[in-house]
Amino acid sequence: MLEQLRERCLACRACPLAETRTHVVFGSGDPGADIMFVGEAPGKNEDLTGEPFVGRAGQLLDRYLEAVGIPREKVYITNIIKCRPPQNRDPNPGEQEACIGYLREQFRIISPRIVVCLGRIAAQKMIDPNFRMTRQHGEMVKKGGVLFTATYHPAALLRNPAYKADTLQDFKRIAEAAGS
């Protein structure tokens, strides 16, 4: 089912980002994962490779996962939108709406126990439109039997290292909730 969804997504032309992308960045990881990480949109390196979180931000994400004993190959990683916005700008509401169906289907197929939103945009889309990262990061919210939480996007940590310690604590809570 996930492969059929990927094929549909690869052919998507629902928004103007289809015209500027190099690759669709569908998602990767364990299709039976207990933990699903959701970012906002692919960046330059992701657009070039077609894989999520492979640039500097992805390397930082890998270090956090390793620090708390969660193997990357045991999680599923994707984004709200599947094509890179020009100049890595925030995805606009129309782009998010054009892609949200793919994310909903990924969620349904993978059926994770925990969803970790990486960054404000993912948290506002998946947890609460009024989500405030500086106040609510690390909080666990149960929705439909699934735990949702959010932490700082690794790209934001590269720009503002002051949030790295808070993010490590968030990852420790995620690992604890996952039983890792």
Q: What domains sit in the chain, N to C, each tagged with a CATH number?
A: 2-178 (3.40.470.10)
Q: What is the pLDDT of residue 180?
A: 64
HEC letters along 119-141: CHHHHHHHCCCCCCHHHHCCCCE
Residue 24 has pLDDT above 70, yes or no: yes
Mean pLDDT, residues 51-71 = 97
Residue 64 near residue 168 (C-beta atoms within 8 A): yes
Q: Which amino acid, 23?
A: H
pLDDT digits (tens, 9 = 90+) for 71-88: 999 999 999 999 999 998
Q: pTM for the complete prediction?
A: 0.96
Q: Is the dihedral of CA 58, 154, 107, 88 positive or negative?
A: negative
Mean pLDDT, residues 36-57 = 96
- Within its chain, how far is the Cα of 54 from the centroid? 12
Q: Which residue has the tokens 């193997």?
A: 71
Q: How many CA atoms lie within 13 A of 101 on its CB side?
A: 9
Distances, alpha carbon 148 to alpha carbons 25, 27, 46, 115, in Å? 22, 18, 24, 5
Contacts of 178 (CB under 8 A, 6+ apart): 34, 35, 70, 113, 114
Give the pLDDT band of residue 166 (cuts 50, 70, 90): very high
